[in-house]
Amino acid sequence: MFKRFAVPLLLAAMSAAALAQAYPARPITLVVGFPPGGGADAVARIVSDKVGKLLGQPVIVDNRPGAGTTLASEQVARAPADGYTLLLGSANLYGSDQLLYKSAKYDGAKNFTPISRWSAAPMLLAVKKDFAAQSVKELVALARSQPDKLSYSSSGAGVVTHLAALSFTQASGVLKMLHVPFKGGAPSIQAVGAGDVDMTFGTPPSVLPLAQGGKLRVLAVTTAERSALFPDLPGMKESGVDGYDFTFWFGLFGPAGLPSDVAKKLFQASAEALADPEVRGRLEKRGNLAAPSASQEEFRAWAAKEGKDSRELTLRSGAGLQ
């Protein structure tokens, strides 16, 4: 009886060890739930390029926007746990996706292996170039005087750009603004640049090109204090919005059951890539800070807490299932 069970277990252990030793033996796919050109795409391409070089195999970015980021997340949740299909994810995996999208059948804590945080940064509150308000204080006063009149864009319901706006309306006392969701950060920002939408809470890589081109104006960063990345922009505290402090982050996830040795290789490659001065410089140029996790365990606990906060914010927002 013992031999009957011992042999398959031994073979399984040998197979897992062989996989980890050979990994990666072919290109890796990094699935991103946003289209090219936005903040997530920039982080994915900058970091994965270096990770691929360190691992000796290319990391191919596969942009799969739709239904927030749930189509991409669902794809990775169902993928084989062999390290060849990975996800650039964030807090929405842990609850807000399930609250907002019927397509989200996964459980963030059960269906993914958290590997490492890659980036963290403030977001930017940007308005169309001819918007009446010249400051956050003026924007808040205008929004309070015209409920449901002002509009804001996002890269999808329930994703970080939407949650940043919801958190702002609650902290500022603005009753309501019209939400206009898009499939990704680039089209969301372009709508503001074109004057079709009043404002957005966007990632720096999405906002900065249009801001520098004079297509829109940036009023503030979404952190309480000024950011070292954007020292000339006011924080929310000095802009009169107390209690608002919002950052966005992206991290690397694999499917549940990822072999520990494979996850360890990916964690180590991520840490080495994020310590590289060139990678850090490229991220900072696009408005992001390299933010490697201290360990896989630290990232797992941290991401779960961030996910809980994201879920609670979504529940308070009253946003409905799509």
SS3 label, residue 283: helix
* Residue 18's pLDDT band (cuts 50, 70, 90): low
Instruction: Tokens 């982080």: give the residue.
Output: 43
pLDDT at 297 over 50: yes
Helices 2-22 and 260-275: crossing angle in degrees, nearest 10, is 20
The Cα 70–Cα 86 span in angstroms is 14
- CATH code of 14-121+248-317, in short, is 3.40.190.150
What's residue 13's pLDDT? 47
Q: What percent of the chain has pLDDT over 70?
A: 91
Neighbouring CB atoms inside 10 A of 15's CB total 11
Give residue 17's pLDDT: 52
Residue 264 confidence class, pLDDT cut points 50, 70, 90: very high
Neighbours of 26 (CB within 10 A): 11
Report residue 27's pLDDT band, with 50, 70 and 90 as the boundaries.
very high
Helix (H, G, I), strand (E, B) or coil at 137: helix
Model confidence over 67-79: pLDDT tens digits?
878 999 999 999 9
Contact by Cβ (8 Å): 118, 279: no
In this predicted structure, the answer to whether residue 5 has a pLDDT above a threshold of 50 is no
Peptide bond into 24 cis (omega under 30): yes
Domain boundaries, the chain: 14-121+248-317, 124-221
> Whole-angstrom Cα distance, residue 143 to residue 170?
12
CB 322 within 8 A of CB 100: yes
pLDDT surpassing 80 at residue 293: yes
Given a cut of 90, whether residue 203 has pLDDT beyond it is no
287 DSSP 8-state letter: T
| 284: pLDDT strictly greater than 70 | yes
* Residue 240 scores a pLDDT above 60: yes
Q: Please report the pLDDT score of residue 39 as a whole number.
A: 80
Mean pLDDT of 211-234: 95
Name the residue with higher pLDDT: 196 or 3: 196
Structure tokens, 16: 């897992």
Could you report the per-residue pLDDT of 111-158, keeping only the tens digit for each?
999 999 999 989 999 999 999 999 999 999 999 999 889 999 998 777
Burial class (CB in 10 A: 0-12, 13-18, 19+), 310: buried
Judged by average pLDDT, the poorest of 94-98, 226-230, 260-264 is: 94-98
Q: What is the pLDDT of residue 196?
A: 97
Per-residue pLDDT at 68: 77
pLDDT value of residue 20 = 56
What pLDDT is recorded for position 2? 43
Between 39-55 and 277-285, two packed helices, what is the crossing angle to 10 degrees? 170
Residue 63, pLDDT > 60, answer: yes
H-type alpha helices, 34-95? 39-55, 70-77
Tokens of 64: 């799969």
> Quick one: average pLDDT of 199-222?
93
Average pLDDT, the chain: 89
Q: What tens digit of pLDDT does each residue of 82-123 get?
A: 999 999 999 989 988 888 888 788 999 999 999 999 999 899
Q: What is the pTM of this model?
A: 0.78
What superfamily would CATH give domain 124-221? Periplasmic binding protein-like II (3.40.190.10)
For residue range 177-187, list pLDDT tens digits in order. 999 998 878 89
Q: How many CA atoms lie within 13 A of 80 on its CB side?
A: 6
Enclosing H/E stretch for 192: helix 185-193
